[in-house]
């Protein structure tokens, strides 16, 4: 289980993380001093619990909790502060608990016993994506067989864009780089999109895709991906990268070069 912890005071953060690790020795505790860094991590990872300091510069804990819930609606929020005056505010974002500084192992354990929502873990992710080496997709650890190679390439490109919305024209230009745009090519693309959605729907995994007017994107926190894990600083994922990224696609070479420089 991923547990988030944030405090802009270094000593207070160390104390908070230490208490959480004592109470949850088998879980991953990710600490942050800046709200923006915590939100970036949350966008690409399943997060079950967040311990948030309330008084921080730039963005207070209440505001951060609201933004966090836009990413993970059922994340359990535990506010941490030295001021009891914030207790009422904590309930406006449906916090699970409210603990006072200095945080102790006992306080963390008590908060965990009163969580508002069931904890979502990595094992809840049906879809696993392999980008190092050749691009492959697994649902419940079974490889996905695509009826068309271009359908698979479409999904690969969306994965490479890390959740950013991609226009139809952008995607067509990339996966048919050798051809000029045309009505027939756009028609072919629409068939690919329909094929991708049909394939994912047959596996009950269609929720990894967002469709908007002439735009597509993946939802990073709905899947497990070695690429995303490496970008988030996962050492195991970084060590598994051997210089090849989606090797069957020429357009992925730029990202491969970036990953190589990042690993070094």
Q: 142 and 177 share a domain?
A: yes
Q: Are residues 255 and 134 in the same domain?
A: yes
Task: Identify the residue whose tokens are 């160390």.
Answer: 14
Q: Note whether 115 and 153 are same-domain residues.
A: no
Residue-wise pLDDT for 23-64, tens only, equals 988 788 999 999 999 999 988 787 889 999 988 888 888 899
Angle at alpha carbon of residue 135, lines to 131 and 139, rounded to 5°: 90
Q: Is there a cis peptide before residue 103, judged by omega within 30 degrees of 0?
A: no
Statement to judge: residues 38 and 134 lie in one domain: no
Q: For residue 137, give its domain range.
A: 126-263
CA pair distance 127, 230, nearest whole angstrom: 17
- State the pLDDT at residue 46: 78
pLDDT at position 106, please? 94
Q: Are residues 133 and 249 in the same domain?
A: yes
Q: Does residue 125 surpass a pLDDT of 70?
A: no
pLDDT tens digits along 159-206: 999 999 999 999 999 999 888 889 999 999 999 999 999 999 999 899
Q: Does the reported pTM lie above 0.75? A: no
Sheet holding 215-218, edge to edge: 166-167, 215-218, 209-212
Of 6, 159, 160, 25, the closest CA to residue 68 belongs to 6
Label residue 247 left, alpha or beta by phi (over 0 means left) and psi (-120 to 50 means alpha): alpha
Do 235 and 217 lie in one domain? The reply is: yes
Specify the pLDDT at position 178. 84
| Residues 160, 100 within the same domain | no
Beta bridge partners of 132: 245
- Torsional class of 33: left (φ above 0), alpha (ψ -120 to 50), beta (otherwise): alpha
Percent helix, strand, coil in the chain (nearest 5)? 50, 20, 35
Query: How confident is the model at residue 69, as a pLDDT?
Result: 87
The total number of structural domains that make up the chain: 2
pLDDT greater than 70 at residue 90: no
Whether 87 shows a pLDDT value over 70: the answer reads no
Q: What is the pLDDT of residue 123?
A: 44
Give residue 5's pLDDT. Answer: 97
| CB environment 86-99: b (16+ within 10 A), e (fewer) | beebbeebebbbbb
Are 139 and 205 a contacting pair, CB within 8 Å? Answer: yes
Residue 126 above 90 pLDDT? no
More confident residue, 95 or 67: 67
Please check whether residues 173 and 83 belong to one and the same domain: no
User: Which residue among 88, 122, 156 closes a domain?
Assistant: 122
Among 122, 157, 181, identify where a domain stops. Answer: 122
Domain identity same for 134 and 248: yes
Average pLDDT taken over every residue of the chain: 88
Q: What is the CATH number of the domain that holds 57?
A: 3.40.50.2300
**In Å, how far are 22, 24, 49, 196 from 28, measured between CA atoms?**
12, 8, 11, 34
Given a contact cutoff of 8 angstroms between Cβ atoms, the answer to whether 115 and 96 are in contact is yes
The answer on 166 and 80 residing in a single domain is: no
Q: Give the residue-averaged pLDDT of 223-233.
A: 90
Question: pLDDT tens digits for 71-83?
Answer: 888 899 999 987 6
Average pLDDT over residues 108-127: 75
For residues 57 and 99, membership in a common domain is answered with: yes
- Final residue belonging to a domain, choices 122, 146, 181: 122
pLDDT over 90 percentage in the chain: 59
Which of 58, 53, 46 has its CA nearest to residue 5? Answer: 53
Please tell me whether residues 117 and 240 are part of one structural domain.
Answer: no
């Amino acid at each position: 289980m991923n547990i988030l912890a944030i405090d802009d005071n270094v000593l207070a953060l160390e104390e908070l993380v230490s208490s959480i690790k004592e109470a949850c020795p088998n879980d991953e505790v990710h600490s942050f001093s800046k709200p923006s860094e915590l939100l970036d991590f949350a966008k690409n990872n399943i997060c079950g619990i967040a311990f948030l300091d309330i008084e921080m510069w730039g963005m207070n804990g209440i505001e951060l909790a609201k933004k966090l819930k836009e990413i993970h609606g059922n994340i359990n929020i535990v506010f941490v502060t030295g001021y009891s005056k914030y207790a009422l505010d904590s309930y406006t974002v449906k916090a699970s608990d409210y603990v006072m500084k200095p945080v102790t192992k006992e306080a963390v354990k008590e908060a965990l016993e009163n969580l508002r929502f069931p904890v979502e873990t990595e094992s809840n992710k049906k879809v696993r994506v392999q980008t190092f080496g050749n691009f492959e997709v697994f649902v419940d650890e079974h490889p996905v067989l695509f009826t068309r190679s271009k359908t698979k390439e479409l999904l690969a490109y969306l994965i490479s864009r890390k959740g950013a919305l991609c226009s139809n024209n952008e995607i067509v230009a990339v996966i048919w780089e050798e051809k000029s745009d045309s009505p027939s090519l756009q028609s072919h693309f629409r068939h690919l999109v329909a094929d991708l959605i049909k394939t994912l729907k047959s596996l009950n995994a269609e929720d990894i895709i967002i469709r908007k007017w002439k735009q597509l994107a993946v939802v990073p926190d709905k899947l497990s991906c070695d690429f995303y894990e490496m970008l988030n600083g996962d050492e195991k994922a970084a060590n598994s990268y051997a210089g090849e990224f989606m090797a069957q696609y020429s357009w992925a070479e730029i990202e491969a070069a970036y990953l190589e420089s990042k690993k070094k």
